[in-house]
Structure 1
Amino acid sequence: MSKPRSLSLAAYRVLSWGVPHPSVAATGPRPEGEVLWVHVNSEDRLRVVSDLCQRILAVRPGLSLLFTVPPDTDLAPWAEHAPSLIKLPAEQTGGARAFLDHWRPDIGLWVGGGLMPNVITRAEEKGIPLLLIEAETDTKVARGGRWLPDITRYTLDCFDQVLAPTEEAARAIRRLGIAFSKVTVSPPLRISPMPRPWPEDELIEINHALSGRPVWLAACVKDTEFISVLSAHRQAMKILPRLALVMNVADPAESSPLQRRLETMDLRCACWDDGQPIEDTTQVILSSEAEDLGLWHRVSSVTFMGSSLDRGAGGQDPLTSTALGSAVVHGPFVHLHRDSYERLGRAGAARAVRSATELGDAVVEMLAPDRCADMALAGWQVVTEGAPQSDQMVEMVQDMLDRRRAQDART
Structure 2
Amino acid sequence: MAPFPYLAWVAASTVLVPFASRSETAKLARADVPRSRAREKLGFATGQRDATQPLVWFHAASVGESLSVLALITRIGAALPDTQFLITSGTATSADLIARRMPPRCQHQFAPLDAPGPLRRFLKHWCPDAAIFVESELWPQMLRRTHASGARMALVNARLSTDSVKRWQQMPATARYMLDVFDLILTQNDAMAETIVSLGAPPARVARGINLKSMADPLPVDHAALAEAQTALRNRPVWIASSTHQGEEQSVLKAHQRLLRRWPDLCLILAPRHPARGQEVADLITEAGMSHSRRSAGDAPAGQVFLADTLGELGTWYALSDIVFLGGSLRPIGGHNPFEVAHSGATVLSGTHVTNFAETFSGMEELGAARFVSDAADLAEKVEALFSDTQGREMACAAALEFAQQQTDKLDEIAARLITTLELSA
The answer to whether the superposition gives a TM-score over 0.5 is: yes
Distance verdict in 2 for CA 1:240–1:84, change over 3 Å: same
Aligned position for 1:330? 350
Is residue 381 of structure 1 aligned with residue 407 of structure 2? no
Could you state the TM-score of these two structures normalised by the residue count of structure 1?
A: 0.59
Rounded Cα–Cα distance in structure 2 between residues aligned with 1:258 and 1:294? 25
Closer/same/farther in 2, CA of residues 401 and 379 from structure 1, 3 Å limit: same
The equivalent of 1:358 in structure 2 is 378
Q: Which runs of 5+ in 2 are unaligned?
A: 22-41, 50-54, 78-82, 91-97, 99-108, 159-167
Distance 2:172 2:223 in 1: 63
Q: CA offset at residue 103 of structure 1?
A: 5.1
1:344 match: 364
Cα distance in 2 for partners of 1:287, 1:111 equals: 29
User: Considering only CA atoms, is the larger Rg found in Structure 1 or Structure 2?
Assistant: 1
CA contact (8 A) 1:189 1:386 kept: no
Partner of 1:207: 230
Note the 1:147-162 alignment, pairs <5 A. Answer: none
- Out of 251-260 and 183-192, give the one that drifted further: 183-192
Select the residue among 278, 281, 285 that pairs with 1:252.
Answer: 278
Task: Give the 5 Å matches for 1:1-400.
Answer: 23=13, 28-29=42-43, 31=45, 33=48, 36=56, 50-51=66-67, 53-55=69-71, 63-65=86-88, 104=123, 105-106=127-128, 107-109=130-132, 127-130=150-153, 187-191=209-213, 192-222=215-245, 224-249=247-272, 251-261=277-287, 265=289, 267-275=290-298, 282-309=303-330, 311-367=331-387, 368-394=389-415
For residue 385 of structure 1, report the CA deviation from its aligned partner: 3.6
Q: How far did 1:358 drift? A: 0.9
SS of the equivalent of 1:299 reads: coil
Between the aligned partners of 1:64 and 1:112, the Cα distance in structure 2 is 14
Q: Which is richer in helix?
A: 2
Q: Is the 8 A contact 2:222 2:316 kept in 1?
A: no
Identity %: 21
Where 1:108 maps in the other structure, the secondary structure is strand
Do 1:273 and 1:287's aligned partners in 2 also have CA atoms closer than 8 Å? yes
Q: Is the contact made by 2:43 and 2:120 (CA closer than 8 Å) also made in structure 1?
A: no
Would you say the 8 A contact 1:255–1:287 is kept in 2?
Answer: no
Name the TM-score, length of structure 2 as normaliser. Answer: 0.58
| Segment drifting more, 353-362 vs 13-22 | 13-22
Moved more, 58-67 or 13-22: 13-22
Letter matched to residue 376 of structure 1: C
SS in 2 for 1:291: coil
Q: How far is the alpha carbon of 1:360 from its aligned partner?
A: 1.0
Q: Which residue of 2 aligns with 1:71?
A: none
- What is the Cα deviation at residue 329 of structure 1? 1.3
1:31-83 residue CA offsets vs partner (Å, 9 max, x unmatched): 4655645689xx9xx9886445334666576624489xxxxxxxxxxxxxx99
8 A contact 2:58–2:85 mirrored in 1:
no
Q: C-alpha distance in 2, partners of 1:242/1:49?
A: 38
Q: Deviations over 1:252-297 (max 9, x none)?
A: 12254245335xx3x4544444455656xx4333332243322221
- Across the aligned residues of Structure 1 and Structure 2, the Cα RMSD in angstroms comes to 5.6
Which string of whole-angstrom CA distances, capped at 9 and with x for unpartnered residues, describes residues 220-249 of structure 1? Answer: 444634443233223223444443222334
**One-letter amino acid of the counterpart of residue 324, structure 1:** S
In 1, are the aligned partners of 2:59 and 2:111 still within 8 Å (CA)?
Answer: no
Task: Name the CA distance, whole Å, in 2 between partners of 1:259 and 1:358.
Answer: 20
Q: How far apart in 1 are the matches of 2:386 and 2:219?
A: 26
Q: Is the 8 A contact 2:240 2:270 kept in 1?
A: yes
Q: How many residues align?
A: 350
Q: What amino acid is aligned across from residue 284 of structure 1 in structure 2?
A: V
